[in-house]
Chain A
Amino acid sequence: KAGVTQTPRYLIKTRGQQVTLSCSPISGHRSVSWYQQTPGQGLQFLFEYFSETQRNKGNFPGRFSGRQFSNSRSEMNVSTLELGDSALYLCASSFEQALPGTEAFFGQGTRLTVV
């Protein structure tokens, strides 16, 4: 069974640019969540999508956005990149996170470096 796939694995962007990251969840999983991981803050929740709808949103500025497609694949977009956006962006998928026994499984992440 294939795991969660994130592309690309590495990205280098310039301040002010925008970037789109992609996440393909485990087959059959309908919930996709995004997290930002930095050495200082640890893992912080960005947003969660379920059946193409955003169900939860973390405390990040509007420059961070996402969407989910009918096949459950998800993308997140960061506009007007800042140096502080440099981080490992992780995607997690689960069948239905609200149900016991439906744990979230993570992808390998996309390492974004803003210069």
Chain B
Amino acid sequence: EDQVTQSPEALRLQEGESSSLNCSYTVSGLRGLFWYRQDPGKGPEFLFTLYSAGEEKEKERLKATLTKKESFLHITAPKPEDSATYLCAVLPYGNNRLAFGKGNQVVVIP
């Protein structure tokens, strides 16, 4: 069964204090790994897709990287508006169902 584990579950950061979120996964064959951001009461907002080990993608203060067993979401010099839950999901070969982790809840304190 496909499994996605995210750590830490919750993280409090001072504004400007860079950190990384981890997503480790077990999947028979990885078609793609996705990062989403979710604000309270809203649907997940797409951030990145990664397809192969070694791939990196950046958007503003966020950078996602991928290895064969895990992905990292690096948050550089975060601002309070980066406070959200970050969700990691994998799409395996053989079916079209995204398997999600339980998320990293990030709070950035001014």
Q: Judging by beta carbons under 8 Å apart, are A43 and B87 in contact?
A: yes
In the assembled complex, the Cα of A77 lies from the Cα of B102 at a distance in Å of 25
Please judge, given known A-B contacts A42-B103, A97-B91, A106-B36, whether A58 and B97 are in contact too, CB under 8 Å: yes
In chain A, positions 88-103 with a C-beta closer than 8 Å to chain B are 90, 92, 97-98, 100-101, 103
In chain B, positions 51-110 with a C-beta closer than 8 Å to chain A are 51, 87, 89, 91, 95-103
Q: Judging by beta carbons under 8 Å apart, are B51 and A33 in contact?
A: no
Q: Please tell me the size bucket of the interface on B.
A: 20 to 34
Give 1 or 0 for each of A27-68: 1 = CB within 8 Å of chain B CB. 000010101000000111100101000011010000000000
Q: Does A25 touch B at the CB level, under 8 Å?
A: no
Q: Please tell me the size bucket of the interface on A.
A: 20 to 34
* Chain A at the B interface: SS class: strand
Number of A-B contacts (CB under 8 A): 59
Give the one of A4, A6, A90 with max B CB within 10 A: A90
- Shortest distance in angstroms between A25's beta carbon and chain B's nearest beta carbon? 13
Q: Judging by beta carbons under 8 Å apart, are B42 and A108 in contact?
A: yes
Q: Which residue of B lies closest to A58 (CB)?
A: B97
Q: Judging by beta carbons under 8 Å apart, are A105 and B46 in contact?
A: yes
Q: Does B34 touch A at the CB level, under 8 Å?
A: yes
In the assembled complex, the Cα of A55 lies from the Cα of B41 at a distance in Å of 28
Which 7 pairs between the two chains have the least Cβ-Cβ distance? A106-B43, A43-B100, A42-B102, A45-B97, A97-B96, A106-B44, A108-B43
Q: Which residues of A contact B (CB under 8 A)?
A: 4, 6, 31, 33, 35, 42-45, 48, 50, 55-56, 58, 90, 92, 97-98, 100-101, 103-109, 111
Name 6 extra pairs, CB < 8 A, besides A103-B49, A108-B42, A109-B43.
A33-B97, A42-B100, A45-B97, A56-B97, A104-B46, A111-B41
